[in-house]
Amino acid sequence: MTYRVDSDIYYPYDTFIPCNGECQVDEYWTEKEVLENVRRKTKLVMQALSDCENHMFYLAFENSVCKDYITEKFWNLKHLIVPIVLSRRVFKQTKIPDNVYIAVDDFNNITELANYLLYLQRNKTEYLKYFDWTKTYRKTTYRLIYNKYDIIARQAYINSFNGTNAPSYNPLCNLCELAHKQHKNGHPRHIIRDIWKYWKSPYICIENWADIWLKGRHKEVYEKANWQ
């Protein structure tokens, strides 16, 4: 039960929730709201999330990058601001669309990154593409939506993910349910012989990643890490 996609119970901070034609008006951003919000943005990058309305981008950084770990800071994008993350590869095994964030490791150096941000500042049409997710997904959090339903309706809601690995926001209940199903159906036990090896294998987390990227060593480190 972790943030890792290969967990028996996947437990991230949040996820994108499809509307499937069933969104209430307060659960999604309208095109008008998105356009009005973008017009108000006159400043470039912020570090602390205290002025989302006026800034185009914010830094969703952690001290290190870890396989499948999506920082809680990332989900502030639902307030209509574009996150800048350290590593695109962190997202590869998740269901998060590629065009909702900017990844530092898409660029060879800090100058390329800065020039791209300035380009988006001048070209609002291109900038708006980072909000295409608002046409498909809800702005509300998974936790908030999940808790709106009664126990029976929750399962129907989870099934609406069309076979994707729906995250859990009632993890202890899901853990009990999994154990019950395994026992009832006679499935073999799933035993992790070495939890330390699973959790702390070399390169599961890459420390000082920003420094590695600044020195141009990130591709070399990725190869050693063997991240997909």
- pLDDT band of residue 50 (cuts 50, 70, 90) is low
Q: What is the pLDDT of residue 95?
A: 81
For residue 100, what pLDDT band results from cuts at 50, 70 and 90? Answer: very high
Please report whether residue 137 resides in a domain: yes
Of the pLDDT bands very low, low, confident and very high (cuts 50, 70, 90), residue 158 is low
Q: Are residue 26 and residue 47 in the same domain, yes or no?
A: yes
Q: What amino acid occupies position 120?
A: L
Spatial separation of the C-alpha atoms in residues 228 and 214, rounded to whole Å: 22
**For the segment 106-135, what is each residue's pLDDT rounded down to a tens digit?**
999 999 999 999 999 999 999 999 999 999
One domain, residues 151 and 71: no
The pLDDT tens digits of the residues spanning 194-222 come to: 877 777 777 788 888 899 999 999 888 88
Cα–Cα distance, 96 to 102 (Å, whole number): 13
Residue 208: give the domain boundaries. Answer: 195-224
Shared domain for 138 and 162, answered yes or no, is no
Same domain, yes or no: 92 and 164:
no
pTM: 0.80
86 and 63 part of one domain: yes
Q: Which of 23, 72, 22, 81 is nearest to 51 (CA)?
A: 81
Confidence class of residue 181 from pLDDT cuts 50, 70 and 90? confident
Same domain, 66 and 174: no
Q: Give the chain's domain count.
A: 3
Is residue 57 assigned to a domain?
A: yes
Whether residue 4 lies inside any domain: the answer is no
